[in-house]
Amino acid sequence: MVDINIKFYEEMSGIYDSLYDERFEEFNFYREIVSSADSVLEVACGSGTLTEVLTQNAASVVGIDASAEMLRRALLKMPQLSTEIADMRSFDLRRRFDLVVCSFNSLLHLDAKDIPSALKRFAAHVRKSGRVIVDVYNLDERILPAGGINIEKNVVDQQTGKEVATSQFLLLDSSRGKLIVAVTVKDRRNEQILTTSQYSLSVISPETLDLAFETAGLRIVEKYGTYDRVPFNNRHPKQIIVAERAAD
């Protein structure tokens, strides 16, 4: 994860769960997947929003993340959770899992050149009969307007208990191959700006992502465009990949 993205999560940890709380379809998808796995590794588990779902459906869950603050918040929810501060490009837990999950665009926090390295680490941590699941945006000008979009939402800051007004501006920078997300947080009473921060996500084409999986030694079993398992095509805004480790 690039440093500016880690900084965003540290600065926005108090509102993160409320800012991204409409993930019901995603959770249902993972409930079904996890039901057949005893051990799960969640890469970039963050504050543990999805992790809670995983722990309800799997016997053993390990969460890793690059942000110490986000892991601290995950442990507040799940004190018994096994966690480790780790870089998804180079981690080594010296064990393998039935399922390795990297959800909610987390892989895209890396620069595009580093994505194959992360996928190789995922492959190294999954059992031969296990699965690797990654879900990321499928973005281009057809899906996100050239001028960007602004999303406004009132949320509760978990650190202060106060309701704040947030604004997220999403801009696709095709020249850099990045989606820029700028977040502004204001006091609802007087419109005073409390904090601003931003992060970026790499834009990766379906063909490039598929090749990265192959290069990492992962064979794609299924690829969906939605969480209700509709087969992927280029018009879908998501790329949800289910893969297995290729023969050694």
Residue 139: pLDDT band with limits 50, 70, 90: confident
pLDDT at position 2, please?
61
Q: What is the DSSP string of the chain?
A: --HHHHHHHHHHTTTHHHHT---HHHHHHHHHHHTT-SEEEEET-TTSHHHHHHHTT-SEEEEEES-HHHHHHHHHH-TT-EEEE--TTT---S--EEEEEE-TTGGGGS-GGGHHHHHHHHHHTEEEEEEEEEEEE---TTTS-TT-EEEEEEEE-TTT--EEEEEEEEEEETTTTEEEEEEEEEETTT--EEEEEEEEEE---HHHHHHHHHHTTEEEEEEESSTT-PBP-TT-SEEEEEEEEPP-
What is the pTM (predicted TM-score) of this model?
0.94
Indicate the fold that domain 149-202 takes in CATH.
N-terminal domain of TfIIb (2.20.25)
Highest CATH level, class, for 3-138+204-245: alpha beta
**Quick one: average pLDDT of 33-55?**
96
What average pLDDT does this structure show over 80-86? 98
- Considering the chain, what is the average pLDDT of its residues? 94
- For the cut 80, the answer to whether the pLDDT of residue 76 exceeds it is yes
pLDDT at 102 over 80: yes
Residue 4 pLDDT > 90: no
Question: Which residues make up the CATH 2.20.25 domain(s) of the chain?
Answer: 149-202
In the chain, CATH 3.40.50.150 sits at 3-138+204-245
Greater confidence (25 vs 10) lies with 25
Q: What is the pLDDT of residue 144?
A: 81
**Banded model confidence at residue 1, pLDDT cuts 50, 70, 90:** low
Model confidence pLDDT, tens digit, residues 182-234: 999 999 999 999 999 999 999 999 999 999 999 999 999 999 999 999 999 99
